[in-house]
Structure 1
Amino acid sequence: MEASLPLFFAAVIGFGHAFEADHLVAVGSIVSKRDRLLLAIKDGIYWGLGHTSTIFLIGLVMIIGQATFLNDYFGYFEAGVGLMLILLGLYRLYKYRHHKAELDHLIDGHDHHHLAYGVGLIHGLAGSGAMVLLVMTEVKGSFNSLLYLLIFGLGSIAGMLVAAGIFSLPFSKKLSGKRGLKLALIMTSSILCIGYGLYIMSENLI
């Protein structure tokens, strides 16, 4: 194993990776519908699980199967993430437009996290190629390479757990009286999703 990229630092790098802008705007929009910290944290965990699932799967294909043909498609994968962000933002704006008079309809108190997991799956496509290629270059052996990706994934789960918890605080029941603030944050997070999604698509398709 190269000393420049020890497995020891994989989790730290993964933790920092969770705080990339496209990840934060998406999860910020998702947790804006939560009024309980625990549910938001679970959203962060499920996002991380989805993100890790995709990166590890692509890693298996590229490291074990030596499938370098995927390199030609990563730009489209990135654009797909941009489209997902746009749709996520539009969905939240739709909910805002039709239920802003009744804040309770904008809050989801159910313990299901399929949206967060699905968003994480798609997010794993963005940048996964560069990550896998870096690991293949710097880490010796297929086993160590896949182990690095798993540890990296655990770090990203921990990072998004923290980020989701922080983002959920303005929507907590303790701030239930701050209706105007909650609505403003929902709209802001939705617009950020759309704007950043458009930026990602333009960077990868134009």
Structure 2
Amino acid sequence: MLELPFLVGGLFGVRHTFEADHVAAVATLVEDDDRPVTAGLAWGVGHCLPVLALGGLFLALGVELPALANRVVEFAVAALLVLLGVRVLLDRPPIGSRLFDHDHTDEASFLVGIVHGFAGSGGVVVALAAAAGSSLAGAGFLAGFSVATVVGMGLASWGVGHAVGRLRPLRLVAGLASVVVGLLLGLETLGLGVGL
């Protein structure tokens, strides 16, 4: 009985992994990382935590994130994408590498994933889980979505990380794409732009 919601959630998670704002964020985080898969896995886990928490609250209590809070978080994602892209365009070292003897790409990826998990599409996932027919089916949907998102982002990060690491000009493309996607998402959140 749980197989179908798990499978549907998994398929949605795979598709969700490749949304423009997710790929843009991870591309800027892994551009100098020698372990892009772990950064992607950290992003995926960070992304799933708020989705699972909000989904659990919604399924158990009927509580959901207010629309205004959702818009604020979506705008924070847009600003974060712009900042990550600018960091790459200015050829800055990995996050935290100046303060410590190692970089903190995985931790940064985890935190960026958390912010993304609270953003608008996380609400869609929670709504889909709630529409699954029962709390158990909704939990199966959330579980499938989460597993697929973590694995999918790990694989996407591996591909992006290896491509960007080998071809220096792709770093600039990743940075520029992050800025553009962030600006478009910000305009969309303010009601001034086109959908991504």
TM-score range, shorter chain: 0.7 to 0.9
The 8 Å contact of residues 2 and 140 in structure 1, kept in 2 or not, is answered as: no
Q: How does 1:90-169 map to 2 (within 5 A)?
A: 90-94=86-90, 96=91, 110=103, 113-126=106-119, 127-137=121-131, 139-169=132-162
SS at match of 1:113: helix
The 8 Å contact of residues 43 and 153 in structure 2, kept in 1 or not, is answered as: yes
- Going from structure 1 to structure 2, the CA distance change for 1:11 and 1:69 (only over 3 Å counts) comes to closer
Shift of 1:152: 0.6
* Cα distance in structure 1, aligned partners of 2:54 and 2:6: 19
Match of 1:198 in 2: 183
Instruction: Give the alignment's Cα RMSD to 1 decimal.
Output: 2.6
Specify every segment of 5 or more residues in structure 2 that has no aligned partner in the other structure, as ranges.
192-196
Amino acid aligned to 2:20? A
Match of 2:79 in 1: 83
The structure with the larger Rg is 1
The percentage of aligned residue pairs carrying the same residue is 26
Shift of 1:91: 2.2
* Cα distance in structure 2, aligned partners of 1:65 and 1:141: 13
Specify every segment of 5 or more residues in structure 1 that has no aligned partner in the other structure, as ranges.
100-104, 176-180
CA distances 1:143-189 after superposition (whole Å, capped 9, x unpaired):
331232122110011111111111112355xx4xxxxx41x222221
Q: Is the counterpart of residue 8 in structure 1 residue 7 in structure 2?
A: yes
Match of 1:26 in 2: 25
Q: Calculate the TM-score normalised by the size of structure 1.
A: 0.79
* Cα distance in structure 2, aligned partners of 1:9 and 1:69: 23
SS at match of 1:161: helix
CA distances 1:112-170 after superposition (whole Å, capped 9, x unpaired):
51011011111112211122112212x12223312321221100111111111111123
Match of 2:194 in 1: none
* Cα distance in structure 2, aligned partners of 1:120 and 1:149: 16
Match of 2:61 in 1: 65
Amino acid aligned to 2:60? I
Shift of 1:22: 0.7
The 8 Å contact of residues 84 and 197 in structure 1, kept in 2 or not, is answered as: yes
Q: Is the counterpart of residue 48 in structure 1 residue 33 in structure 2?
A: no
* Cα distance in structure 2, aligned partners of 1:55 and 1:65: 15
SS at match of 2:118: coil
